[in-house]
Amino acid sequence: MPNEQAKVQVLRSEYPRPQFSRQEWLGLNGEWEFTFDDSRVGVEEKWYKSDLAFSRKITVPFTFQSKLSGIEDPAFHDVVWYRKRFNIPEAWSGKQVILHFGAVDYIASVWVNGQLAFTHEGGHTPFQGDITSLLIEGSNTVVLRAEDFSRDLTLPRGKQYWLEKSASIFYTRTTGIWQSVWLEPVDRIHLRKVALTPNIDRNEIQVRTFIEGIQSVDGLNLQVIISYKGSMVSNDTYSVHSAEESRNIRLNDSTDHGLGRLWSPEHPNLYDITFRLKQNEIVIDEAVSYFGMRKVSIEDGKFCLNNRPYYQRLALDQGYFPEGILTAPSDEALKSDVELTKEMGFNGVRKHQKTEDPRFLYWCDKLGLLLWSEAANAYEYSEEYVRRFTKEWQEIIERDYNHPCIVTWVPLNESWGIPNVQNDKQQQQHGLAMYHLTKSLDQTRPVVYNDGWEQMTTDLATIHDYESRQEVLEARYASVETAISAMPANRRIFVGGASYEGQPILISEFGGIAFKKSDWEGWGYSGADNEEDFLKRLKAVLDPMFSSPIIQGFCYTQLTDVEQEINGLLTYDREPKAPLDVIRKIITGQK
């Protein structure tokens, strides 16, 4: 077992935040001390101060429910504790030390050397804290207490099931650390984050920088260097006088009539950008990022990418892995999912009920794959849910704003969290609030009010339809009227007095054809007996998408089998159920 854990540690040793990276950092993934606290006595007994050994070992960032954690216990344990000892490199002397957590499900309390450092609520977003004042010479200790609420249906939980065994569309739970943990040294004055907004119509990139620790400091400058495939495009230095600065930088480079260097799935062109914060000409902080020059818009009822109508061929991607659950076993596994998706003819994915590891978004950016970013929803409504979800959704947008791959925000899906939205005005207002909140934070991307049905104000009209008969789908999507009036899940497409206003129509869930091609037993929305039957059924649901005069894109369910669901194009182990080139012809509508 130690060899297995060492192997996993190497596999998850990549830098966790590729959209905003620094050269110096120290990963804390790997073996941690671990214990359950089913009696909830840890705080009272001050386990964060005690040297008493925890009863188990766990491999971070894998949760105790997963095989790769070294524990693989699917039972309910809603309070867990972690402990890790670490040393600060001597080269970091005089620096501020920031402790980062990629994601911890659900409430995290962090102590360093017995002192409370910071807390965070929300299971799918990153958090960090400055622990400099708590550090000591030699060995330091970090302790984390994670508390989950496994049976709470008002918790933003995604596909994590509130019963003991997975069933239907719900899967194994995750509790505790499930994304990477790392340390980073910074100067007292340093870049906290950047926001990059491309404008292809003006060939400009808006650069907003947010600087921590700045007060009345003279001689502070920021150098912004932009390059494309190693060639310098811009080198701009300006004085910094406030915690937030903004500049529009024109990219004076050849763009081949505006197309040559734009980002798209077919041409995932990326610019590199380096930030050097200087005080009296001495570099005190340096971070690197990248961006894509691309534009998402809706013109005359058409979804457009880079000012041209663009047909979206998406796959529903749950982002689950057999041995890691929500956590991919390796960065290579995330990259492989993107490559397989593209090889099957898709140009995008809808990440379903999950805020994915930033490394996946990096590979979408780099290899060229559109992404609809969807939150992990609650299942029932409450005012406490609204507080929790609103905070977490804002953190999701802040974390992922710079990724060119993201072309749509999806805060709500299938009325999860708002089950009575058809008639309940309070729940209707929550959906409207999430739509307008999203638009207030990002005006560059369309927002879906409630993916699938029961929508009000929305930029895209999206429909979930698991009908398997080709002739029914062809008739249903022959016109706008038949599409909007249909109720494929016995749900209205629009509610609350809202009606269709010319938005692009997309079938954002359909298919779901079960085909058993592994040892897994399971279900789907319809079933195939063999490979020939599977491909015939696949073509029967795809052809109506292409022949429809009104549909502007689709999202096929689904990319892989997941636990008890066997309705993927790939098995849970990512083995194709039919030759990839044959699947590609069907997905791309080739005759």
Identify the pLDDT of residue 7.
43
Cα–Cα dist 175/188, whole Å = 34
Cα–Cα dist 524/563, whole Å = 12
CA angle 250, 251, 256 (to 5 degrees): 130
Residues of the chain with CATH 2.60.40.10: 190-291
Whether the CA torsion 560, 562, 566, 572 is positive or negative: it is positive
Whether the Cβ atoms of residue 365 and residue 373 lie closer than 8 Å to each other = no
Identify the pLDDT of residue 468.
96
CA 519 to chain centre: 29
Tokens of 456: 């009000």
Residues of the chain with CATH 2.60.120.260: 2-186
For residue 468, give Cα distances in angstroms to 34, 105, 150, 474, 558.
48, 37, 35, 11, 14
Whether the Cβ atoms of residue 356 and residue 381 lie closer than 8 Å to each other = no
Identify the pLDDT of residue 12.
76
Question: Of 10, 8, 184, 186, which Cα lies nearest the Cα of 100?
Answer: 184
Residue-wise DSSP of 201-237 = TTTEEEEEEEEES-SS-SSEEEEEEEEETTEEEEEEE
Cα–Cα dist 235/197, whole Å = 18
Identify the pLDDT of residue 4.
40
Residue 476 CB neighbour total at 10 angstroms: 20
pLDDT one digit per residue (tens) for the chain, 591 residues: 333 444 444 457 899 999 999 999 999 999 999 999 999 999 999 999 988 889 999 999 999 999 999 999 999 999 999 999 999 999 999 999 999 999 999 999 999 999 999 999 999 999 999 999 999 999 999 999 999 999 999 999 999 999 989 999 999 999 999 999 999 999 999 999 999 999 999 999 999 999 999 876 778 999 999 999 999 999 999 999 899 999 999 998 755 555 579 999 999 999 999 999 999 999 999 999 999 999 999 999 999 999 999 999 999 999 999 999 999 999 999 999 999 999 999 999 999 999 999 999 999 999 999 999 999 999 999 999 999 999 999 999 999 999 999 999 999 999 999 999 999 999 999 999 999 999 999 999 999 999 999 999 999 999 999 999 999 999 999 999 999 999 999 999 999 999 999 999 999 999 999 998 877 678 788 889 899 999 999 999 999 999 999 999 999 999 999 999 999 999 999 999 999 999 999 999 997
* Tokens 């344990």, residue located: 77
Asked if omega into 106 is within 30° of 0 (cis), the reply is yes
Question: Of 73, 30, 395, which Cα lies nearest the Cα of 180?
Answer: 30
Identify the pLDDT of residue 259.
59
Q: What are phi and psi of 322, to 5 degrees?
A: -55, -40
CATH class of 2-186: mainly beta
Q: Residue type at 213?
A: G
Whether the CA torsion 526, 531, 536, 540 is positive or negative: it is positive
Identify the pLDDT of residue 11.
56
Specify which residues 193 forms β-bridges with. Answer: 210
Which is it for strands 79-87 and 505-511: parallel, antiparallel or unpaired?
unpaired
Q: Residue type at 406?
A: I
CATH class of 190-291: mainly beta
Which is it for strands 115-121 and 107-112: parallel, antiparallel or unpaired?
antiparallel
Identify the pLDDT of residue 254.
59
Beta strands in 131-270 (DSSP E): 139-147, 176-177, 181-186, 190-199, 204-212, 220-228, 231-239, 244-250
Cα–Cα dist 545/550, whole Å = 9
Q: What are phi and psi of 112, to 5 degrees?
A: -125, 120
